[in-house]
Amino acid sequence: MYENIFTQNFLGNFFFSLFFLIVNVFFSLKVSNHKNIQKIFFFNEFQPIVVFFLTFCLYTFIFNLVILFNYKIISEVFLFLFFIQLIFIINNFISKKSFIKNKINYNINEKIIFLIFLGLYLISILPLSDADSISIYQYLPTNIFFNGLNEINLYQNLEFTLLSNTEILLLISPILKSDNFGSQLNLIVLLFFIFTNFKNHKNFALIVLSSPLIIYFISYIF
C-alpha cells in the first residue's frame, strides 16, 4: 500500500509538504497583522503562532465533517481551502514583501541557529523508518482517505480506537502524497516559534536546541 500512496520521487515527496507549510506560515503572519486580530491583546507577540495553529484546527474540523458526509471529496475540499489561502497571500503580496525586507537581517547567533535547523530539516525529510509511523500514524489517515470510516471493523483494526485529530490532520499526507508532512510540520512550528520570538526568548531557543530529544521530535512523524 505504501508504494501506491506516496510519490516515489524524492523531490516531490518533501516539496509539496514544504510549499503547503510555507504558504501557511505567510498566511498566519499576514492574518496576525490584521488590525482586528491585533486587538486581541492576550495573544501579544504569539499571534502568528496562534493563527497558525487555529488554521490547522480549521483544517481538521472541516476534514472531520467531510469524512462523516463524503470522504471521497476530501482532496477537492483541501485544494479549495488551500486555494483560498493562496489568493489571500497573493492579494497581500506587497505587504508580504515588506515583511520579508524588514525581518531578513538576522545576527550571527540567529544564522547559526538557522544552520542547525537546516540540518534538522534534512533529517525530517528522510524516508520513514519506524514501524510505528508506517503502521499507525500513516496507516490510519491513509485508510480513511481511501475507504472512509464505514468499512472499519474494530475487531480486525483495533488501532482505529486510537484515532484522533492527529491522524485526521495527517490526511494531508496522502492528499499531498508526502510521507514526511508530519515531520516537516514539527520542524516548521518550532522554527516559526523561535524566529518570530527569538529576541525576547533566546534562552528558550538554546534549551530546545540543546535537548538530545530534539532529533527524535523532528524525525518522528507527529
Domain limits for position 98: 10-219
More confident residue, 90 or 43: 90
Question: Per-residue pLDDT for 136 more than 70?
Answer: no
**Residues of the chain above pLDDT 90, percent:** 16
In a domain, 5, yes or no: no
Question: Per-residue pLDDT for 19 more than 60?
Answer: yes
Compute the C-alpha angle 35/40/41, nearest 5°. 110
pLDDT of residue 194: 73
pLDDT of residue 100: 47
Residue 171 DSSP code:
T
Euclidean distance between CA atoms 160 and 153, whole angstroms: 9
C-alpha cell at 147: 475507504
In a domain, 163, yes or no: yes
Question: Per-residue pLDDT for 78 more than 90?
Answer: yes
pLDDT of residue 99: 47
In a domain, 2, yes or no: no
In a domain, 1, yes or no: no
Question: Per-residue pLDDT for 196 more than 80?
Answer: no
Average pLDDT of 113-129?
A: 72
More confident residue, 73 or 220: 73
Q: Is the CB of residue 16 less than 8 Å from the CB of residue 177? A: yes
SS3 107: coil
Q: Is the CB of residue 129 less than 8 Å from the CB of residue 59? A: no
Q: Is the CB of residue 92 less than 8 Å from the CB of residue 196? A: no
Q: How confident is the model at residue 29 (pLDDT cuts 50, 70, 90)?
A: confident
In a domain, 208, yes or no: yes
More confident residue, 10 or 207: 10
Average pLDDT of 46-56?
A: 86
Q: How many domains does the chain have?
A: 1
Q: How confident is the model at residue 158 (pLDDT cuts 50, 70, 90)?
A: low
Euclidean distance between CA atoms 115 and 110, whole angstroms: 9
Whether the CA torsion 16, 148, 60, 214 is positive or negative: it is: negative
pLDDT of residue 6: 73
Euclidean distance between CA atoms 185 and 162, whole angstroms: 21
